[in-house]
Amino acid sequence: MITKKISIFILLLFTTLSVFADKVNVRLSTPSVARVGQQIRLAVEANDKVDKVNLPALKAFEVMMGPMTSSSSSVQIINGKSSRSSSYSYTYILKPKKVGVFTVPAVEVVIDGKRYKTNSRKIEIVKGNANANTTSSGSEISKKDLFVKVFLSRTNVREGEAILATTKLYTRVPISGVSDIQLPSFTGFYTKPVGEIRHLRLNQEAYDGDIYNTSLLNKTLLFPQKDGSLKIEPAKVTVQVQQQVRRAQGLFDDFFNSTRTVTVDVQSASRVVRVKGLPTAPDSYSGAVGQFHIMANISEDKVKANDAITLRLTIKGKGNLSLVTAPKLDFPEDFETYDPQTKNSIKVTDSGEVGSKTLEYLVQPRFAGTYTIPSVSFSYYDPAKGKFVTKETETFHIEVAKGEGKGSAPAMVNDFSKESVKTVGKDIRFISTDDVKFSKKHSFFGTLLFYMLYVIGVIAFVILYLMNLKRIREREDVWGTKNKKANRLALKRLKKASDHLKRSEDELFYEAVLVALMGYLEDKLTLPKSELTKETIVASLAKRKVAPEDVDALISLVDTCEFARYAPSQDHGAQEDIYQRSVNVLSMLEKSIKK
């Protein structure tokens, strides 16, 4: 009987594991924006082979072709255990027919006789300019092709109310990088950065009836500190733009086009925020603007004289938490009080600071008795209600028993010279008249062990000094160090590209490959990033006796990756080929470059 139950349990366990292992995932992917007449890709992706795709009616789109099927598989070995994963993609080519925001409904697919549905997708269709993404040599880059904007979540606020300032770069021309970003100083505001932007990434976005590649440069939370009109100065950005250079080569002109990099300075328009002062504040106002509530608790309510008690005030909510000061507290006169310790748990979000601020007060009752700590009033201005809101904590009653020792007994003198004088314990204590015995202790100074430790310390200091001097010299030779580590760093960066490839993150994959290649060339050729152009790369490699066909392979690989970052995604096989070419090119360069 027991054996039968165990068998049933094992069978159920393996059945459950197989259900989780065979879970089917289907997903719909499309671009978020497109132009009228532009061909776009609609892809249905699954982790199992699809028997049938039921494409819904797409009235705003013309289906040009599809489905085109592709598949890929990978094997992963971890701790000796191998796992295999497969992915299948079914791609349709669509052409938008009119302007607007349209929803592509969930696509139904059939896998092993069962029906599954993907997610839905929204696509914004704009009229756009199909020729806006190319610039030829000598053509002027207009303000509509490349600009930077500072967006404000609101421009009419109360003093202390949160404003989100977002700085973004918009471009319709190909760019290779941003070398300098000067954000506004935000004079008159208390600022808090929202998140950390480590890398600039381009995403397509519809703006003013056209499609732009946009990059988020900065997000900052602003808290105006005074009323009136506060001016936000322009943001300034230096951008490297790639321009096509046509070289006349007779019959084969189109096959000898190259690019050059030009530097363009752009700046945003200045902005004005109108700040209205707060109305007359109550006495319990401590600078809070937003929505808050306050809580209080004490560590003990029954103690002995001179024992410590901790009173905690916690202010929670959303608003300008960093600027909230400690509310006023009235402790009994017989309590010894200390300055509060503040503990913040604050998260900066787009709508303001969210979290809590805890104030811990350490107090000591000096004498026995029953005492009352009155409630604490806390007022804040609520912009949503347009008025001040006051909240109060509970009242605490403390019972203090007589402590041990003479110091806990009070001596009271009342009605002396028209004033009440209170003496706490004894201010003067007499010198002890008891017999005192002195003992002589042996001194460590001058002994053999003292001199041995002294010599060892001197030797250790000299060794550490010489090691530090060697490290300083190595740091001074920056380019030498970079040259030695160039290949190792490049392989490490390619490892990131491999991770993006496995997760089908196309744009991040090409970006990681470019970072690996250009970073290797920067370190190996000892060229600053500002001088790292295709012309200087070719010239430097020629000086180091690298074969011309190897140089052409490198330049071709860089061009392929740069184009793929902005072009529709390639299939998985092409990306694996680019990854392998990158490994081969780096290996070739490491063998060929002679320092």
**Is residue 222, in this structure, part of any structural domain at all?**
yes
Of 67, 73, 74, the C-alpha closest to 109 is 67
The pLDDT of residue 41 is 87
Do both 297 and 369 map to the same domain? Answer: yes
Question: Is cis: bond before 528, omega within 30 of 0?
Answer: no
Sign of the C-alpha dihedral computed for residues 316, 317, 321 and 325 taken in this order: negative
Token readout for 247 is 């070289």
3-state secondary structure of 211: strand
In this prediction, residue 229 carries a pLDDT of 93
Does 18 fall in a domain? yes
CATH code at 41? Answer: 2.60.40.10
In-domain check, residue 131:
no
Q: Which residues of the chain have pLDDT under 70?
A: 1-22, 75-77, 79-80, 82, 130-139, 246-257, 405-444, 474-486, 530, 565-573, 594-595
Half-sphere exposure of 274 toward its Cβ, with a 13 Å CA cutoff?
Answer: 1
Residue 67: what pLDDT?
A: 85
Q: What is the pLDDT of residue 437?
A: 63
Q: Is residue 431 part of a domain?
A: no
| pLDDT value for 133 | 59
What span, in angstroms and rounded, lies between the C-alpha atoms of 340 and 325?
11
pLDDT at 314: 94
Indicate if 379 and 264 belong to the same structural domain: no
Question: What is the token pair recorded at 302?
Answer: 């029954």
DSSP SS3 for 131: coil
Whether the Cβ atoms of residue 551 and residue 541 lie closer than 8 Å to each other: yes
Q: Which of 225, 248, 276 is the last residue of a domain?
A: 276
Please name the residue that has the structure tokens 């776009």. Answer: 40
Dig out the tokens for 377 from the structure. Answer: 């009033």
Residues 154 and 272 in one domain: yes
Domain CATH number, residue 570: 1.20.120
Asked if 295 and 261 sit in the same domain, the reply is: no
How many CA atoms does the CB half-sphere of 338 hold within 13 Å?
A: 12
Is 422 within a domain?
Answer: no
Enter the pTM of the model: 0.58
Cβ neighbours for 545, distance < 8 A, ≥ 6 positions apart: 592, 594
Domain span at 377: 285-401
- What is the pLDDT, as a whole number, of residue 270? 92
- Picking from 72, 109, 113, the residue whose alpha carbon sits closest to that of residue 89 is 72
* Domain stops at, among 73, 95, 126: 126
Determine, yes or no, domain membership for 391: yes
| Whether residues 378 and 269 fall in one domain | no
How far apart, in whole angstroms, are the C-alpha atoms of residue 52 and residue 296?
63
One domain, residues 374 and 298:
yes
Shared-domain flag, residues 264 and 293 = no
Q: Helix axis angle, 478-502 relative to 572-592, nearest 10°?
A: 160
* Residue 485 shares a structural domain with residue 392: no
Q: What is the pLDDT of residue 412?
A: 42
Same domain for 257 and 296, yes or no, is no
Please tell me the predicted confidence (pLDDT) of residue 13: 47
What element of type H or E holds 42? Answer: strand 40-46
- Are 109 and 194 within one domain? no
How many domains does the chain fold into? 4
pLDDT of residue 356: 94
Residues 269 and 317 in one domain: no
Whole-number Cα distances in Å, 151 to 32, 165, 264, 385: 21, 6, 22, 25
SS3 587: helix
What gap in Å lies between CA 7 and CA 159, rounded to an integer?
Answer: 71
- Position 465 in a domain: no
- Neighbouring residues of 579: CB distance < 8 A, sequence distance ≥ 6: 494, 497, 498, 501, 509, 513
Helix (H) or strand (E) holding 276: strand 271-276
**Pairwise CA distance, residues 54 & 118, whole Å:** 11
Q: Do 251 and 165 belong to one domain?
A: yes
Sign, Cα dihedral of 281, 286, 290, 292 = negative
Q: Considering 92, 126, 160, which residue would you say is the last residue of a domain?
A: 126
Please check whether residue 136 lies inside any domain of the structure: no
